[in-house]
A and B are shown apart, each in its own frame.
Chain A
Amino acid sequence: MDNYPALIVVAPLLAALFSGIFSWVEERFTYPTALIGMGLSTFSAYKILMRVLDSGTIQYKMAGWLPPMGIEYRIDLLNAMVLMLISSIAFINLIASYRNVEQETNDRKGSFYTIYLLFVTGLIGVTATGDLFNLYVLIEITSLTSYAMVALADKDRGPLASLNYIFIGVIGASFYLLGVGYLYLKTGSLNMVDVAGILSGIEGSSTVLVAFILCMIGIWIKMALFPMHVWLPNAYSYAPVAFARVVAPLMTKVMVYVMIRLMVTVFGLEYIFNTLNLADAVVWLATIAIIAGGIMALSQKNLKKMLTYIIVCEIGYMVGGAWMGNQLGMSGAILHILNDALMTFALFLAVGNMVYKLKKVDFIHLQGLFGKMPWTMAAFVLAAFSIVGVPPTCGFFSKWYLVLGAFEAGAYHFAAALIISSLICAILFFKVFEICFFEPMSEGHGHGDGHGEVAIAEAPVSMLIASGLISISLIATGLFSGTIMNKLILPFLG
C-alpha cells in the first residue's frame, strides 16, 4: 500500500499548518518545516512520475470509497508531468527565496511560508484531482492565498490591485462553479471520468453546451486570456518577489492544464471539435491575445510589469495550440506548459536576484547590471533567448510544434502571430540588455573612471544556485524534448 498520491498534497498542507503554529511559537522553525514539507512533496511527485511511466494511470481513492461516490485522484502522464513541474519549481523557489522573504516581509516571515505552502498545496491539488467540485475548492485556495499575497508587499497600491483581483477571480470561479452545476444537473455525477462517460450519450443538449461555455470562460478568466487579463499585470507585479516567482510561472500554467484536462477528459475532443464550431473563434481570440500581450509589453517601463505582459502573450500560445484541433497543436501546447513554466521561472528568479540587490526594477535602475551581477544576467539572457525561441533552448521546440500545428490546421494567422510575437520579445529583451549593458558608459555615471572595475555585487549563493539549476534545465528540456514528447505527451494523447 503506498500513499504517494495523498502525500504529495498532504505534506505541504501539514507543513503549512505546522509553520502556522511555529510562526506564533518559535519563528526559526518555520523555514525548515516548509523545506521538509516541500521536499517530501517533490519526492512523492518523483515517485509518482516513475510509477506512471512504468505502469500507467494511478487511481487513488480518498477515504477508500469507489470513485463516483468518493473523491478520486487520478494521475496519468499529463498530471504526473505537471505535478513534478509544480513541486520542483516550488521547492527550488523555496531554497532561493529565503533571503528575499527576510528582506521583504521581515516581521511576517512565518505567515509568509504558511501562505506559500497553502498556495502550493492548492496548485498540486488542482493538478492531481479527478473530481470537478474538488477542483473548485482547490482553485479557491490558490486564489485566496494569492489575494493575500498580492496585497502584502506593496502597501500602497497592493490592496486595491488585490481587491480588483478578488472581483474578477470570484466571477471566474463562480462561472466555473455554475458550469459544474449545469453538468451535475445533466449527469448527476462529479467525477471527471464518470461525467465524461455519461456526457457521451447526451451530446446535443443545450445545457451541456452552456456548461462547457461557462467552464471555459471561468477558466479563461482565471488564466487571464486576453480580454480578461486586466487583473494579472498589477496583481503579479505587486506581489512579494518570492511569491511572484512561483505564482507567475505556475498559476496560469495550471489553469491551462485545467482547460486541457476539461477538454480532453471531461468533454472530449470529439465533442469540442466536431459537434461545436467554436474552435476557429477561440484560435482568433488567442491570436489577438498574443499580439495584444506583445504590444502592451512594449509600452512598459518596469521589468516585472513587462514580464507579466509576456505571460499574457504566452497564454495565447497555449490556448491557441490546444484549440487548434490537431494532435500537433495540442502536444505543442502541453509541451509549452512545461517549457513556459521553466522559462518564466528562470526570468523571475533573475528578477528576484535583481530585486534583492536593487530594490526596484524599473528600467532606469538596471543600468550597468552586466558588470554588477554577471551570473544573474547570464541566467537572464539564457531565459530570454528561450522565450524568444532560440534553438538550443526549450522555448524553440514548443513553438516549433505550435507552428507546425497551425500550418496543419490552416491557421496561418496564428502562425504569423507566433512569429511576430517572437520578434516583439526579441526587441523587448534586447532593449533590456542594452540598458543593462551599454547605458552607464554613454552617460558616464558619476563614479569617476571606473570603467572596467565595476564592483561585483552578486546575489547570495543559494539564489545563484537556483538560477543555475533552472538555466541548465532550460537547455536540458530543450535537448530532451523529443524524449518528453514520445514518452509523456504523445502516449497521453493516444
Chain B
Amino acid sequence: MTDLLPLIVAKYNYWLYVILMMIGLYAMIAKNNLIKKLVGMNIFQTAIILFYVSIGYKTEATIPIIQGAHGGHGSHAAIHAADYINPLPHVLMLTAIVVSVATFGVAMALAVRVYQRYQTLEEDELRMRLSEE
C-alpha cells in the first residue's frame, strides 16, 4: 500500500487524461447529435492538450517567465534550468488550442448550414432524410 501511493501520484495525471480522451472519443463516435459530437471533439482535443501540459510540468519549479530580467541589460544572475517549467509543450499547445478553436468555428458554421438544409441535427434523422432523396 505504501508503494502504491507514489505510483498513483506519479501517474494519475496521465491516467485521467486517458479517461478524458476516451469520453471525448466516445462522444464523437457514438453520440447522435452533431453538436454533441462537436463537444466530444473539443473534449478530445483538450485532453490531448492536458497531456502535453502534464509533460511539461516539473515539481519544485515555477512558471516559465524569467524573474528579475525586466529590461534585461548586461549580466543576470545564473539561470538554473531546474527552476523553471519546460516552456516547449506550452508553446505547442498554444498552437494546438488555436487550431482547435478554428476547427470548432468552421464546424459550427457547417452545423448551421446542415440545419438550414435539413431542419435537424440528429444523425439518424439526417440519414433518413438522405435516403429519402
Contacts and interface: CB of A to CB of B under 8 A. Distances in A.
Contacts of B23: none
Nearest to B107: A166
Contacts of B102: 140, 144
Contact of A147 (B55, B95, B106, B126): B106
Interface residues of A, number: 26
Interface SS of chain B: helix
Interface in A141-191: 144, 147-148, 151, 155-157, 159-160, 162-163, 166-167, 170-171, 174, 177-178, 181, 184-185, 190
A181 B44 contact: no
A355 interface: no
Given A137-B95, A144-B102, A181 B28 contact: no
A317 B48 CA distance: 32
A159 B95 contact: no
A147 B34 CA distance: 16
Contacts of B110: 147, 151, 159, 162-163, 166
Contact of A184 (B25, B55, B106, B107): B55
Nearest to B41: A170
A144 B34 CA distance: 18
A144 B103 contact: yes
A166 B117 contact: no
A443 to B, nearest CB: 27
Interface residues of B, number: 29
B96 interface: yes
Nearest to A157: B130
B19 interface: no
Contacts of A185: 55
A161 B71 CA distance: 53
A171 B24 CA distance: 10
Contact of B25 (A147, A156, A171, A181): A171
B114 A159 contact: yes
A163 B41 contact: no
A170 B41 CA distance: 8
B107 A163 contact: yes
A167 B95 contact: no
Interface SS of chain A: helix
B99 interface: yes
Given A163-B110, A163-B114, A177-B96, A170 B103 contact: yes
A140 B117 CA distance: 27
A22 interface: no
A170 B114 contact: no
B90 to A, nearest CB: 13
B106 A133 contact: no
Interface in B11-68: 25, 28, 34, 37, 41, 44-45, 48, 51-52, 55
Contact of B28 (A140, A144, A171, A190): A171
Instruction: Select the residue from A148, A155, A174, A185 with max chain B CB neighbours within 10 A.
Output: A174
B88 to A, nearest CB: 8
A163 B111 contact: yes
Contacts of A178: 48, 51
Contacts of B51: 178, 181
A155 B51 CA distance: 39
Contact of B45 (A133, A170, A184): A170
30 contacts: A133-B95, A140-B102, A140-B103, A144-B102, A147-B103, A147-B110, A155-B117, A156-B117, A159-B110, A159-B114, A160-B114, A160-B126, A163-B107, A163-B111, A166-B110, A167-B37, A167-B41, A170-B28, A170-B41, A170-B45, A170-B103, A174-B44, A174-B45, A174-B48, A177-B96, A178-B51, A181-B55, A184-B52, A185-B55, A190-B92
Top 9 closest pairs, chain A to chain B, by CB: A159-B113, A163-B110, A140-B99, A159-B114, A159-B110, A166-B107, A185-B55, A160-B114, A170-B41
